[in-house]
Structure 1
């Protein structure tokens, strides 16, 4: 079967307005999907163990119906990412979301469903005011248990990812940064446009950004790239954030390793589950760059960390021995 792509075509004015954002709504969608299909999210099992017994079942089942288990997610939840968007802002936006687009979203979900689910979604699409109120109520209940206790940690990972991407863009240009967003993302300049191509399972589309730019949104819970292409929303690409694999066991690992390596050095080793520069490592751990460099030298000498050059940067990551030490802890 031919491969499908969504292509974001960027003119010069679009390139100058590429920006990053955070979407609590996108995280809600994929947190629901993680609870429904945990076998597909091994990186989130620590979170699953912590929350699944306490998540309100009625809220989970309602949101499962509205957002679906895979594929298309209603634009209602993802239409306005921004750097400083808070969960409270997101819920307030849902509270006042226009009714007609809600009906459109639910009909799209209905045609992608079957049987009882399809009939329920069609009934919901006919009464968007009632469904909007239900969405807000169930999102608030779900958020309070499943995400509120962990949001500061999640948000830190998302902002750290954005900081890393911005530095990469400064050093290697937009093309260099975009090519590193994920295996499904390609950068091309051979069609008369600068084009970001996103490999998709079912959807294909050419999006002329027409001066609207492109929003890049890291996701903590999303495993795959996703796109938002329909006006009035700005063209948006969601991609998996760096550093997710370590976050749920980080505190325990750091505590266990601190007696052996020292607190800061243990935190550096745990952070290097993904390649980081010295500056990124310092920001991730909350220490000075010179201190991070000293710890990296010591860990490298012990065979726990390896370093390699990537363009203008030197990236550090755990060796198999370092991995074994962290995961054993």
Structure 2
């Protein structure tokens, strides 16, 4: 069980990451490839990625990455430096990890056992090994994560809208309580309890805890092993079964897209639950100004409603919008 007890000051400083972290998604997806967790949800992705890795000639490189990132209670913190919104900056931080830290974390990973030769060279800080690591992580990302970014961003944006609404209506306590709806997670006043491979307490000591959504995270959260690092808690987005099929573009243009355009039809389709303009823009990879124009047109057509909640505007699909998406309009 994982325990996080917040003081009033620490609770007020609780923050959400803007979206998924590319390096956490790399690590989490590597875990998923090595297990059968959430088979109904992720097996179609596993089959697709295994085939793509083989066609790309990346199978051996990914086996090397798995030696660094096993689905165990511990894997090295330097692989997920955090706080970097883009892959390039994150990879630069990984490749700049000091030799002393590489040696300490990789030795902990193998707990006194002999290090495999490639891992040993990395632990020694070999520039060639670090370049290999950066290249392998980037190539793996382009095959196993990047093609699925539309679905990942959609889930992350919907989650952020839900958390933002909880924070606007209930403050920091409301934001914390919103995580209590996750399976086996509990919020007890200003304390958070979650499933974890071992008993562990995250001591904040006045620091800010950042909550990071994880698409490939299943049930239990993940936290950095080193308590001296800025505290992070990665929580599951829990995509529903069939997410991969639903993310594929239809071979024929849906009736709603024929009537209102593809982007507006996609926007309307995202509103299974209320979302902010910012969340919609992130999910659709559009500029906020463009998204705002789309919501204005849809609102004037009676297909969605917009309501201000604190500093945000939440958009909801109307029954007319539902009917349009379902093709019930004639």
Judge same fold: TM > 0.5, yes or no: yes
Q: Does 1:249 align with 2:251?
A: no
Deviation at 1:156, TM superposition (A): 4.8
Determine if contact 1:30/1:221 at 8 Å carries over to the other structure: yes
Structure 1 residues 199 and 101, CA gap change in structure 2 (3 angstroms): same
Q: Structure 1, residues 13-50: CA drift from partner, whole Å, max 9, x if none?
A: 21222112242111001211222335634323443344
Contact 1:254 / 1:267 at 8 angstroms: preserved in 2? no
Residues 139-183 of structure 1: per-residue CA shift (max 9 Å, x gap): 122123222334455345434422331222111233333233322
- Residue deviations 1:94-118, cap 9 Å, x none? 1101222222322232139xxxxx5
Matches within 5 A, 1:1-329: 5-21=1-17, 22-38=20-36, 40-55=38-53, 56-81=58-83, 85-111=85-111, 118-121=113-116, 124-125=119-120, 127-130=123-126, 131-151=129-149, 153-181=151-179, 182-189=182-189, 194-201=190-197, 203-224=198-219, 225-228=221-224, 230-241=226-237, 243=239, 245=241, 247-252=243-248, 258-259=254-255, 267=266, 271=270, 276-277=273-274, 279=276, 287-288=294-295, 290=299, 291-293=303-305, 295-298=317-320
Match of 1:308 in 2: none
* Greater Cα shift, 97-106 or 209-218: 97-106
SS at match of 1:218: strand
Unaligned runs of 5+ in 2: 285-290, 306-315
Separation in structure 2 between the aligned mates of residue 29 and residue 242 of structure 1, nearest angstrom: 17
What is the alpha-carbon root mean square deviation over aligned residues?
3.6
Cα contact 1:8–1:195 (8 A) shared by 2:
yes
Q: Give the count of matched residue pairs.
A: 287
Contact 1:10/1:213 (8 A) holds in 2: no
- In structure 1, stretches of 5+ residues that fail to align are 113-117, 305-321
Distance 1:282 1:141 in 2: 29
- Is this contact kept in 2: 1:17–1:214, CA < 8 A? yes
CA distance in 1, matches of 2:35, 2:65: 14
Separation of aligned partners in 2, 1:195 and 1:269: 37
SS of residue in 2 equivalent to 1:105: helix
Cα distance in 2 for residues equivalent to 1:39 and 1:195: 28
- TM value normalised by structure 1: 0.72
Measured in 2, the distance between the counterparts of 1:266 and 1:152 equals 15
Q: Is the 8 A contact 1:103 1:128 kept in 2?
A: yes
TM-score (norm 2): 0.72
User: Does the 8 Å contact 1:216/1:237 carry over to 2?
Assistant: yes
In 2: Cα distance, 1:260 partner to 1:160 partner? 21
